[in-house]
A and B are shown apart, each in its own frame.
Chain A
């Protein structure tokens, strides 16, 4: 079974600064995807960034980037130039390629302070 671990229940960052959220996972699969989702107070899950395991290059989406270390099974999210609207719960997720079975970490509550 796949497990996803987010060891930081809560984090805070000053507006305009950079913050990194940690995520590790455990799997015996070789073909999979990793995601970071944002869940604001509205509870709507919003995809932040995705990474295919077979790609060595780290994914980047504007202010969001990941540090994917496949051997270490680590998938951290870096948010640059943090904005007040980034305040939300962030979930790391693992999805098997074969059946799209998605597992989520416990989440990290991020607060961006003005």
Chain B
């Protein structure tokens, strides 16, 4: 149990276009989902926290108009990178916290590799 999926697993886009990444909790409901960014050979940096039905909370330095987050249901959160540029190329990882029951932890998706040309 506690499986989180991400789609797509990798995407290549042209500079100036927008890209949407989906994060789904497959076998549990998630009150909260988290979005992380990981540059090569670096650690995970929290970008934002999204709660179902409310606005996401962004970390300092993360542009909320560039990284749009929608948590429309208890099993789906989306991250849209708007007007992507090469510096947005990175590995994006989502995680989800279970609604109730079980240990207090985050379950991670397999990540999405974004390459902006």
Smallest CB separation, B86 vs chain A (Å): 20
The winner among A44, A45, A100, A102 for most chain B CB atoms within 10 A is: A45
**Contact of A50 (CB < 8 Å), options: B32, B46, B105:** B105
| A4-31 to B contact mask, C-beta < 8 Å, 1/0 | 0000000000000000000000000000
Contact indicator B43/A43 (Cβ below 8 Å) = no
Find residues 65-117 in chain B having any chain A CB closer than 8 Å to their own CB.
Answer: 91, 93, 95, 97, 103-106, 108, 110-111
Contact indicator A100/B91 (Cβ below 8 Å) = no
What residues of A have a CB within 8 angstroms of the CB of B38 in the complex? 43
What residues of A have a CB within 8 angstroms of the CB of B110 in the complex? 42-44
With an 8 Å Cβ cutoff, the count of chain A residues facing the other chain is 21
What residues of A have a CB within 8 angstroms of the CB of B105 in the complex? 33, 35, 47, 50, 95
What residues of B have a CB within 8 angstroms of the CB of A63 in the complex? none
**Contact of A100 (CB < 8 Å), options: B45, B93, B104, B111:** B104
What residues of A have a CB within 8 angstroms of the CB of B49 in the complex? 99-101
Task: Decide yes or no: A102 and B34 within 8 Å by CB, A35-B105, A43-B110, A95-B106 being known contacts.
Answer: yes
The winner among B44, B45, B97 for most chain A CB atoms within 10 A is: B44
Find residues 60-114 in chain A having any chain B CB closer than 8 Å to their own CB.
Answer: 91, 95, 97, 99-107
Contact indicator B46/A100 (Cβ below 8 Å) = no
Smallest Cβ-Cβ distance to A50: which chain B residue:
B105
Docked CA distance A45–B93 (Å): 9
B42 at the interface (CB under 8 A from A): yes
What residues of A have a CB within 8 angstroms of the CB of B42 in the complex? 106-107
What residues of A have a CB within 8 angstroms of the CB of B97 in the complex? 100
Contact indicator B104/A33 (Cβ below 8 Å) = yes
| B28-48 to A contact mask, C-beta < 8 Å, 1/0 | 000010100010001111100
Task: Decide yes or no: A101 and B106 within 8 Å by CB, A43-B91, A43-B111, A45-B93 being known contacts.
Answer: no
Contact indicator B46/A101 (Cβ below 8 Å) = yes
Smallest CB separation, A9 vs chain B (Å): 9
The 10 closest A-B pairs by CB, nearest first: A45-B108, A104-B43, A104-B44, A43-B111, A44-B110, A106-B43, A100-B97, A107-B43, A102-B106, A100-B32
